[in-house]
Amino acid sequence: AERAEAFRYLTQAVAQGFLWAVENETRPQHPWLLGLFNPVKKQAGDKSMSRDYGAYIDGRFDYRITGQRGSSRWIALTALTKPNAADPLSAKWNEPWALVLDSEPLLGTDVVVEPDGTMEIICSKQRPPGAKNWLRITEATNHVRVRQLFDDWNQEEPMAIHIERIGGEPGAAPPALLQPEEMIAALAKAASFVRKSTSAWGPPPLEGRVENEMYDLPTPPTRIGGIDANPGGVMSVAWWALAPDEALVIEFTPVPSLMWSVELENVWWVTADYRWRLVEVTDAQAVLEDDGRCRLVVAHKDPGVPNWLDTGTFSEGWARYRGMLSEDGRSPAWSSRRVKLDELTDILPAGAKRTTPEERKAQIALRAAGVRKRYRD
């Protein structure tokens, strides 16, 4: 089954490669915000709590992003450019993930929203007079990315936005047909996307691998020329590996932050099917114990606790914590241990919170409704 899922991952990479290289990158003067991930298009640590967009642009021109802000807990906009060819990390990754920051990000905390919920963001070399929201670009900028993170999936509304070149609005000259040399170059880029998809995203090396233990990742500084990681975020990860009768218990006291989440991914850095499975817990969804600690249980079968992270029956993969605007820029102090699933009841402290099968069914249904709310298209 896991081998078949590997081919699913590959087919999704093929589809994404063609969308980016043929349908998006070839039309920078007529941009279209392409969804990065969704329940059937995943890669590169996709986030089940997100809905992100990207568009290739031509930095010689100015652009306008307009529409409804929505109410997602976190948004960020970044202007990106091609990395230094000597950067080993960017050389390993596939575009657009390999692109680097070309200017300071525009964070949701700084975005001015009108009383009717709309916003306008100008992307230009110089800030126009009277512009309430401005994302600086340069002539080297070739991509704009828009991120949304959702905390309460059932209450927060996704944004509804579009991008257009100023002077290239609908009614102006339409894009010309692709020329043969353009298609040849685009197909080569799509092939490179697929090739790097199979090499860049996978398990850690066997040598020195630490299993079933959370550890903090160095937070890359938000700097021009740096990798476009989630601005304002910190991250911790664990490589989990569990037998069918085992579970991983992860405990921590949440650090004050705008929001946080813990998500499971398989060996290719993609989530299990979060339309039907509980693969992520955000702070709005988490049930804390009476002492304020959060207890997560990673297991192949329902462990009967509120914060179950479903492996999707994969035998190993990544667990990933993301904290946005965390106090002092830190992750929680982690405690984790691998146990036998049938011993879990005896191991948990007296008074630990439990979940009945009926409550679990309602929990999954509520989570699925939140996914449908975000992906109405």
Distances (CA, A) of 340 to 59, 73, 157, 345: 56, 37, 40, 10
Is there a shared CATH topology between the 2-200 domain and the 215-374 domain? yes
Q: How many residues does the chain have?
A: 377
CA–CA distance, 304 with 357 (Å, rounded to integer): 8
CA–CA distance, 3 with 266 (Å, rounded to integer): 12
Judged against a pLDDT cut of 80, whether residue 135 lies above it is answered with yes
CA–CA distance, 288 with 290 (Å, rounded to integer): 7
Judged against a pLDDT cut of 90, whether residue 87 lies above it is answered with no
CA–CA distance, 323 with 318 (Å, rounded to integer): 16
Name which of 303, 283, 286 is nearest 345 in CA terms: 303
Distances (CA, A) of 249 to 76, 253, 292, 370: 32, 14, 16, 26
Contact by Cβ (8 Å): 367, 152: no
pLDDT above 70 covers a percentage of the chain that reads 96
Distances (CA, A) of 351 to 298, 345, 360: 20, 11, 19
pLDDT in tens, 14-65: 999 999 999 998 889 999 999 999 999 998 888 999 999 999 999 999 999 9
Q: What is the distance, to the nearest Å, from the Cα of residue 334 to the centroid of all Cα atoms in its chain?
A: 22
Taking residues 323-330, what's their average pLDDT?
88
What pLDDT does residue 45 have? 85
pLDDT in tens, 283-326: 999 999 999 999 999 999 999 999 999 999 999 999 999 999 99
For all residues of the chain together, what is the average pLDDT?
91
Read off the amino acid at residue 299. A
DSSP-assigned letter for residue 315:
S
What pLDDT does residue 228 have? 74
Both tokens of 342, joined, read 């049938």
Q: What's the Rg (C-alpha) of the chain?
A: 21
pTM of the complete model: 0.91
What would the DSSP string read from start to end of 223-289?
A: -TTSB---TTEEEEEEEEE--TTEEEEEEEPPPP-SEEEEEEE-TTS----TTTS--EEETTT--B-
CATH architecture of the domain covering 215-374: Sandwich (2.60)
| Choices 2.60.120, 3.30.40, 2.30.110, 1.25.40: CATH for 2-200 | 2.60.120
pLDDT in tens, 169-219: 777 788 889 999 999 999 999 999 898 888 888 777 666 677 888 888 776
Contact by Cβ (8 Å): 39, 68: no
Tokens 């990933």 correspond to: 320
What pLDDT does residue 377 have? 67
Domain boundaries, given as residue ranges, for the chain? 2-200, 215-374
Give the max Cα distance, the chain: 70
